[in-house]
Every structure is written in C-alpha cells, then in structure tokens.
Structure 1
Amino acid sequence: MRLKSTLLAATLLSSLFTPALADKVNDTLVVAANKEIQTLDSLYSTARENVILSYLTSDQLVVRDPETNEYLPALASSYSYVDDRTVDFTLRDGVTFHDGSPVTAEDIVFSFEWTASDQAATKRGAFIRGWFESAEALDGETVRITAKKPYPLMLRDIAMFVQTRKAGSYGSASEPNTNALTQEFNGTGPYRVVSFDMGAGVTLEKYDGYYADSPKSTDGAKTIVIRPIPEWGTVSAEMISGGVQFSYTVPDDTAQNLGTLPMVDHIPGPTTRIGFLILDAGGVTDPEGPMTHLKVRQAMNHAVNKQAIVDHLVGGSSLVINSLCYDGMFGCTQDVTTYEYDVEKAKALLAEAGYPDGFDLELWAYRDKPVTEAVAADLAKIGIKAKINYVKLSAFSKARAAEEAPSMHGTWGYYATPDVGAIHNHFAAGSNRNLNRDPKLEALFDAALSTIDDEERTDLYKQALQMSADMAYHVPIYRFTENYVAGKDVDFAPPSDGLVRLNEITWK
C-alpha cells in the first residue's frame, strides 16, 4: 500500500518549522548512504559506496562514457593499440595528485604493479591478475600495458580496478602498509577528501588543481557530504527536513512514499545489477548433494515465482530474467531454455530425482532479505525446507571462500559494465563463485575473454548462456531497479548503468 507512514507525516509537520540544514545556497550536497564507508582506499573495498567514492577521488588512465560505452582518455591524453594485447598510453600534461605533486609514468607503473601484487592483497587484484603481464614506462610520458593474451575487457579493468596511487604510497616493498590510505587519501579525481570518520561519513570538496578538459563533469556541488544512515526511516526524515538532499538504492515503498511529498522527487532508473540463486551443481559442498541432480535444479527453477517477486517486492523498472544478464548488454541473450512457474511440475521433477519429500537446504544471503524469504517460501511449497543464513557481506564472502554455502542468493552489478564477460567469475575455473565446475562452460567463457573479435565473443557468450540454462546451474530471477530520491532543488538524471556519479548532480 502506498501510504505515508506515521513517521513521514510527523516529520513533515515538524519540517515546516525547521530550516534546511544543507542547501543550494551553501552549494553543499548531502547524500545519504545506506551503508558505512569503512575505508577511503577503494583498492581495499568492493562496496558500492567505495565505487561511488572512488569515482570522485581517483581518476585512472581512462573512464567509460555510460551513454556510448566508449573509453575516454582521462589521466591519459590518448591511447593506441600496438597489437591485440598491448596498449600505449600517453599521459596528460599538468595532472597532479591532491597534494600537488605531478602524476608520473612511474606512478602509473606502480599503480598497476601494486594492484596486481599478491603481497598487496588488494580487493581489485583478482580482476586483473588473470590478464595483466606488465606495465612499462617507455619514457616520461608514455606507459605501455601488456596483457598475457588478448583480453576484451582490458580498458574496463583499467578504468574500474587499477586505482591510481602515488609511487611509494604503501611504504617499502619489504614492509608494506596496506592501511596507509585508509584514513587519509591522496587522489587524482575532481574531489579531494576534507574529512573522514566512519560514524560521520566523508566530506569532499572540489579539487582546485584538477586538470582541464577532463571527461568527468566538474559541474557538481562545491562540497559533497556522504553520510552513513542505515535506517530508511531516518533517511526519510532527513529528506523531509532538508538534512539530506539525495539518496540511492532506496527501497521501493520508501521511495514511492517520499515521492508523494512536495519537497522530494522519486526518480526510478535502470541498473546493471541482477539477482539470482547460485546452486551447488558441482558438489562443491557435498559431492552427493541433491543439487548435483539436474532434475532437482530444474525443479528449483520451476518453483520460484519470479514475476510475483518482481511485481510485489522489487517494483520500479525491474524485469524477470532468464539468463545471468539483461537485454541490451553486449553478448546477452534471453532466448534460452526457460522454466515457467509450475509447482506441480517442480514436485514431479523432485520425485523423479529421488526426493519426493524434498530436502533441507542452507540458503545464504546478505541483502534483499524479503526476496530471499519469498524464494524460501516458494521452495517450501515443493518440500525444500530452506534455512536462511542472512549475514553481513563479510560473513557471506567468508562462507563462499570456504566453500561452505550450498546455495546463495547472489546479486551482481557487473561493475556497471554492459558486457556479459563482466560476470565471468561466476563461470571461471578456480572461482569460489562458480559452483557448477563445468569445464565445458568454463572453456566457453575463457575463449570469449581471449578474443577482441566482437562477433566471435557474441557467439561464445550465446553458447555459454544456453548451456547454463539447459543445465539449470542457476535460478535467474530479476534485473534490479534503482530508486533515487532527491530534494526539489536537485537536478538529477538517472544514469543508464545505475552507477551514481555525484559530481554530475547539479542544482535547479
């Protein structure tokens, strides 16, 4: 029901007598983040908040244009392919870190080598170690990046994962300090960190020394404050009173309620994130487990009422998916084997597999609890009694790494990359996200990520997605919608990839 809560109504009344705490006049945008930023160093966090923060504070050699999907020179003034695995980057003149020191070829080489280093133990290293061979300063302004083999997502990885750091930022090679930039940060982006406290959040200001002609917008507010506010009721109250002017990933009911008020806009938009179940088809947690049977996995696919989840729990622009991708993404196809919602068919398949009474199942999850509960309720209808282990992401990741989770309610945002290859770690050999352990499927993804021929990649992705659907290795459920709320003075257009770029938000 789209009814205003008592909290919203009461806060609205009080706000009539309370001046705004952050506004257009002060050129200060206060953003509510549902999760706390725990470090300023995005090399050591894959949290969405850190992705958003790093876009403001750290420029890389290139940046992706979300509208054209082109990779535009950023710290580099230009780049060129030497061959199908080698790219030369010419550095831009006059680029400095926030401490005023120049960005050099040595810094770029250091950034690649540190990110990829096992010793550095960055959260980003796993994304590039598979392809990265070397970074070499050819001269003072040219850096050559060489891959081990042709890799079509090289520029994506450079833009997203190879965070630019000043050489020596983490101490000596013999005694590295991986916490060196946790509390204080020296970046290259359009905003510099003014203050940081895990309880209070991050305050950023435009960097006066930022280079001209950047592909990133510099039209945003002079000051941006990212406040951690875990309770959506509190976010609602702050939006109404003026203490907060923007928030993202807002639950559908909260966003719709706020959108009915005169001082708040509800702005829905698309996102690259999808939701699905990961099933232990390969017997990783139990070699004789029920999900090693194809008919059991098919039954689970038939049991989940995807459309009801989209209609009643996700809302917005969410859509049912049949593959682990969405229409419009490079290499995606939804024209695969599908499993309509059919409880009786699911029961029959379970019986054929030798489980007429169902079985007990551990279902791990770390977000979107109502969806996980709906999935568990659907599985219960066919006799699968799912015990939900709803934990924080850190515990979820630990259980996944230890191969202790037989089924997981997974989500994947593709790092805002509209390319099927960006989910390859769910199909890659040796990945703890890959519970199907199918060598044929692994080979298809490996081949797709070893060529820069787009036609060949498209065909390989199609084969892989069809095989995954035929074998029911996952239960694809939905493409997320992204709900934003903004104050009436805020001028915001939802990005096509769902990645909030706070520097692009302006005032009306």
Structure 2
Amino acid sequence: MKKWVSSGLGLVLAISLALVGCSNDNKDVKTSDPAKTNAPKAEAKTEGGSKKVQDTLIVGRGGDSAALDPSIVTDGESFKATQQIYDTLLDYKDGTTEVEASLAESWKVSSDGLTYTFNLRSGVKFHDGTDFNADAVVFNFNRWKDPKSPVKFQGDSFDYYTSQFGGEKDDIIKEIKAVDAKTVQFTLNKPQAPFLQNIAMPCFGIGSPKAIQEKKEKFKSEPVGTGSFVFKEWKRNESITLEKNPNYWKQGLPKLNKLIIRSIPDNSARLTALKNGELDLIEGVNPDDVKNIEADKNLKKLVRPSFNVGYVGFNLKHKPFDDAKVRVALSYAVNKKAIIQAFYGGNAEVAVNPMPKSLWGHNNDIKDYEYDPEKAKKLLADAGYPSGLPGEYTFYAMPVPRPYMPDGKKVAEAIQQDFAKIGVKTKIVSPEWATYLDDTKKGEKDDIYMLGWNGDNGDPDNFLYALLDKTNVGGNNQSYYMSEDVHKLLADAQSMNDQAKRSENYKKAQVLIKADAPWVPLAHSTPILAGKAAIDGYIPSPTGSESYETVIFK
C-alpha cells in the first residue's frame, strides 16, 4: 500500500508578488470612434432619480479571442474570456500563483510522486444543467491526450497539453480514471514536480461532455463550463457577452449580473472609451497616458505584477537563421534600452533570459549581448557575411498590444532600423491576430517574428520547457529550436522534487540557450491597467487571466 503525503508539504510552489492590487497568447480590426459607439453607459438611474448600483462590467482589451475552448488556444486574449466560463480542478489564489482548491476540494499525492488522487466538489453543475463529476474530468483529459478521440475535431490542436504533459505521446500522464463519481485518479509515467501548478492553468478548464459531443466544432465558439459566468453572445472582433451563473458553486459569487468584454485595438481609443463611460476597465495603456490617468479623480491606475517576457524570435527552419553565429550577431544589433525607453515608458526592464528575473531558477550570472552594432557587423563577417545578409527577410510584427509588447508594430520598426545598420534588410508584415498566431506556429512564412509569454503557473518549466524544449516545436516553440542538451536538463528537472537541484538545471539550460540565441529577449514589463474609481474587488493576476467574479462597484 502506498504512503500518502499531504498536498501542502512542499508541493505547492508560491511566488510572493508585492505589487498585487496597486493603485500571466485578438484580431486586429478597425473599430469605430469609441465616442460614437452604442455601448451601454455604465451608470443608470432608477425611476425616482436615485443612482442605481451598477451590475454590469465592461472590459476593454486590445484584441479578440481566438476561440472560447481554452484547451485549443495559447493566447492571453482567449484566456481572459475562458477564465470566466470554466473552472479547473485547482486554481491560483487571487493575485498569486499559489495553488488552492477549486473543482477538486482536496488531493493526495503518493510517496513516489506517480499517483494523484483528487476528491471532487459535490453539487456542481455545468451551464447546460448536466453534472460535473469524475467522468467529466476523464472525458476532458482523454480528449486532449488521445489522438483518436472522437471529440478531437478538425483544426483542434491541444498545444498546452503537449507542452505541459507531452501530448499524445503520453510522456507524463499515463492514465486518468474515475474511482467513483467524486474521485478521479491520475497515474503518471514519471514524477512531474510542477504537476499541481500545471493542472491549475486556465487551459485545462473542464467543459461539459454533453456540449462538446453535441456542438462538435461549434463548441469553440459556444462554450459550456462550470464557471461564474455563462456564455451569451460573441460578436467577432467586437464583444463577448457573459451573464451571471445563478447556480455557481461559490456562494455569493459572482457579484455582477453581466460581463461584456470588448475589443478595441487602439490603446488611445480604449482610454477615450473609458473616460466617456463606455468602458469600466481597460487593459493596455500607452506609457504617455499614465500620468493623465493618475491625475483623473474618476479613474484609478492598476498594476499587474510583472511575470512576462517579450521577445524577438528567429525561425531556425529558414537560412541563415539556422546558424547560431548569425543569431548572436543580430542579438548585438538590437538596442533594447532604447526600445524600453521609447515604447514601455520605463515600465519594464531589459530581459537577458527567457524567464523573468523574479522567478526562482533565473540565472543572474549570464551576461547579455548588449547593443553593439560594430560587434554585430564583425560577427556577421565571421559567419561569412562581410556585407550583411543577402536578400530581404520577413519580419512578423504583432498586430495587437499585449502586456509584454505594448506596440508591436512600432517596436518592429525600431528593430528593423537596428538591423538595417548592420546590413540586414527586413520586410514587416502584420496579419490579423489569429492568422499571425497560426503563421508563426507553422513557421512557413516568417523569418523573424515577435511574441511574448505571460507565466501561467509560477514554475520555470512553464517558460523554458513550454517555449524552448524540442518537444514543443510547432506548438509554443515557434523558433523550431531543438537542443538535445537543453531537453535533457529540462526533462530531468521536471522529475526532481528538490527545488535547489531543479534550479541548477534551469540555470544550466539558460547558459546553453543564451549561447544558441534562438531569441532576442527584449523586456520584462510591468503592465499598467486603468479603471473607474468606483471599481472594487478587482485583483490583477500575474498570469494575466484573473476572474472578475469578485468585482463590484462602490
């Protein structure tokens, strides 16, 4: 008989984030002047003329969701919506990456780290009225792991399941079984230190088996979960409307009756809509507008804890970017400090490695390729290109603002000029967001691209393994970087229970990655948000995917 250890004995990896509450993957479309839109105003009056308490929250963001099935997306804009519709077995405490109970009330881990048993919450219903139970959990996970699953529909790609658990190869999860209606058991092929952190990620939201089977491909746009809000309507590139789940298992939540998530690509237009009362909360603020927000008594500045990296990636499938010497040369050509000063307003720090400096396991001893155009030219010459690179290269620039990349097109233009100084000519293209993500994932059209990552779970594995391991090429590893030495370090770290030993592996991996230079890490930003002064109960998450269930208006 196996000995059991409590879920609280060192298995939960927490990050202390002091910035919480200060006052953690979309389509580029034209939006009408926010001053002329027909969006509902925030405040209303009763027939007697007294002020009515607002019960609808309207959130403005830079881009639309790619889909509303969290298991098939990797972008933060999609998770902002799906976080409201679905619950996961475990969740993160507000404003942190510390694991807590959710659909699973409690859990046990076997002493060998291979068996996880979750005791599920009773009385939980999906939005379609069907029961949440162990069979539903098994159904969802088997859908993601079984390549022959009858509910894996055309176009479905479970990239997060692949990056966290090895995907259809069953690398990590061997079996999921329902012990009884309220107990589900996971058996692993090998220990995985961040398993609990991974299970809590929003991409593993549990959907209604009945709805998935009946809706088929439509499920990605007609979601059914157990979350605090129920899906009502999706107007593509405009808005997503959700309504209060009257049967939500968290007593007294959500506090709002309705949630509307609007897409307005332009940061300035979004702020204007906030000032005009058409929005209540906005993501993405131009650095030059921060002082304006701070001076406005009707608004409040909010700060999301920094837990991200913005980067420029090279497509190693295409020559000459398959040559590390060329990639290192181009790394020296990028003026990171000037970019941060011009486009981040000082709300960022230079990135040296692919993971934030605040995260344990970061290698502080690694020296950056600091801006040096002359050295870049020399290295290109040493690589066989004394006159710069021949031809013109396609540079994909992000079409939407993201926390780690406030203005992708302008940043791309600055880097384009940096590259031109050393004889590298690029052509900037910026397709709409869903196409952008698909193109960079396939790696057929882009030579150079820009993306970023907001940490999902507070573990280095979620940056290094998810983004740069050889097993994740074609998924979250858009550079098609494949290093056997890096893979061994990262895979071994997953199986270690000693955090100090894991940290050493991650530090060694960062040394190898720096030498290979598949990316130019640009910045770790501190995202600024803005909202009405009357908003209360909103806690920005470091993962970028917080719930709005506790939000109220004072």
Give me the TM-score of the superposition, normalised by structure 1. 0.86
Tell me the distance in 2 between the aligned counterparts of 1:341 and 1:230: 31
Tell me the distance in 1 between the aligned counterparts of 2:195 and 2:544: 21
Match of 1:44 among 68, 72, 92: 72
Tell me the distance in 1 between the aligned counterparts of 2:335 and 2:452: 17
Return the offset for 1:366: 2.4
Amino acid paired to 2:217: N
Note the alpha carbon deviations across 1:80-130, whole angstroms, 9 max, x for none: 102312200011122122233321111111111112233413434423324
Return the offset for 1:135: 0.9
> Does the 8 Å contact 1:263/1:487 carry over to 2?
yes
> Does the 8 Å contact 1:219/1:506 carry over to 2?
no
* Pair 85,373 (structure 1): closer, same or farther in 2 beyond 3 Å: farther
Taking the TM superposition and a 5 Å limit, the aligned residue runs for 1:194-205 are 194-198=232-236, 200-205=238-243
What is the SS of the residue equivalent to 1:133?
strand
> Does the 8 Å contact 1:272/1:416 carry over to 2?
no
* Pair 398,256 (structure 1): closer, same or farther in 2 beyond 3 Å: same
Return the offset for 1:143: 0.4
Tell me the distance in 2 between the aligned counterparts of 1:279 and 1:455: 32
Amino acid paired to 1:105: A
Q: Does 1:85 align with 2:121?
A: no
Amino acid paired to 1:55: Q
Match of 1:363 among 386, 389, 395: 395
Match of 2:99 among 71, 93, 115: 71
Amino acid paired to 1:148: N
Return the offset for 1:355: 1.6
> Does the 8 Å contact 1:258/1:485 carry over to 2?
yes
Tell me the distance in 2 between the aligned counterparts of 1:292 and 1:41: 35
Q: Does 1:409 align with 2:447?
A: no
Match of 1:384 among 416, 421, 424: 424
* Pair 395,471 (structure 1): closer, same or farther in 2 beyond 3 Å: same
Q: Does 1:472 align with 2:513?
A: no
Tell me the distance in 2 between the aligned counterparts of 1:399 and 1:206: 36
> Does the 8 Å contact 1:115/1:163 carry over to 2?
no
Aligned to 2:196: 155
Q: Does 1:348 align with 2:394?
A: no
What is the SS of the residue equivalent to 1:107?
helix
Note the alpha carbon deviations across 1:375-425, whole angstroms, 9 max, x for none: 111111121122223223433344334433332223122335453443413
Aligned to 2:126: 97
Q: Does 1:116 align with 2:145?
A: yes
* Pair 50,137 (structure 1): closer, same or farther in 2 beyond 3 Å: same
Return the offset for 1:316: 4.7
> Does the 8 Å contact 1:303/1:379 carry over to 2?
yes
Return the offset for 1:304: 0.9
Tell me the distance in 2 between the aligned counterparts of 1:439 and 1:30: 47
* Pair 353,93 (structure 1): closer, same or farther in 2 beyond 3 Å: same
Q: Which runs of 5+ in 2 are unaligned?
A: 1-32, 45-51, 400-407
Aligned to 1:164: 206
Taking the TM superposition and a 5 Å limit, the aligned residue runs for 1:478-497 are 478-491=523-536, 492-497=538-543
RMSD: 2.9
Aligned to 1:3: none
Return the offset for 1:22: 4.2
Match of 2:276 among 217, 236, 241: 241
Amino acid paired to 2:432: K
> Does the 8 Å contact 1:331/1:420 carry over to 2?
no
Note the alpha carbon deviations across 1:322-369, whole angstroms, 9 max, x for none: 100111213222321322222222222222222221114332232411
Tell me the distance in 2 between the aligned counterparts of 1:221 and 1:110: 31
What is the SS of the residue equivalent to 1:230?
coil
Taking the TM superposition and a 5 Å limit, the aligned residue runs for 1:422-501 are 422-430=463-471, 431-432=473-474, 433=477, 434-491=479-536, 492-501=538-547
> Does the 8 Å contact 2:387/2:423 carry over to 1?
yes
Note the alpha carbon deviations across 1:444-478, whole angstroms, 9 max, x for none: 22222233332221111000001111333321111
Q: Which moved more, 1:177-186 or 1:69-78?
A: 177-186
Taking the TM superposition and a 5 Å limit, the aligned residue runs for 1:150-299 are 150-160=191-201, 161-171=203-213, 178-198=216-236, 200-212=238-250, 218=253, 220-280=255-315, 283-286=316-319, 289=320, 291-299=321-329
Return the offset for 1:254: 4.5
Aligned to 2:21: none
Tell me the distance in 1 between the aligned counterparts of 2:264 and 2:361: 38
> Does the 8 Å contact 2:469/2:481 carry over to 1?
no
Aligned to 1:126: 162
Amino acid paired to 1:126: T
Return the offset for 1:312: 1.3
Tell me the distance in 2 between the aligned counterparts of 1:406 and 1:137: 46
Q: Which runs of 5+ in 1 are unaligned?
A: 1-9
Tell me the distance in 2 between the aligned counterparts of 1:131 and 1:66: 28
* Pair 147,349 (structure 1): closer, same or farther in 2 beyond 3 Å: same
* Pair 419,384 (structure 1): closer, same or farther in 2 beyond 3 Å: same
Return the offset for 1:274: 0.9
* Pair 418,250 (structure 1): closer, same or farther in 2 beyond 3 Å: farther
Q: Does 1:308 align with 2:338?
A: yes
* Pair 212,410 (structure 1): closer, same or farther in 2 beyond 3 Å: closer
What is the SS of the residue equivalent to 1:51?
helix
Return the offset for 1:75: 0.8
Tell me the distance in 2 between the aligned counterparts of 1:465 and 1:331: 9
Note the alpha carbon deviations across 1:6-47, whole angstroms, 9 max, x for none: xxxx999x99xx994446723211111222235433233333
Tell me the distance in 2 between the aligned counterparts of 1:454 and 1:316: 33
> Does the 8 Å contact 1:98/1:192 carry over to 2?
yes
Aligned to 1:336: 366
> Does the 8 Å contact 1:337/1:470 carry over to 2?
no
Tell me the distance in 1 between the aligned counterparts of 2:331 and 2:94: 33
* Pair 422,168 (structure 1): closer, same or farther in 2 beyond 3 Å: farther
Return the offset for 1:200: 4.8
Give me the TM-score of the superposition, normalised by structure 2. 0.80
> Does the 8 Å contact 2:97/2:457 carry over to 1?
no
What is the SS of the residue equivalent to 1:152?
coil
> Does the 8 Å contact 1:329/1:420 carry over to 2?
no
Return the offset for 1:270: 2.9
Count matched residues. 484
Amino acid paired to 1:337: K
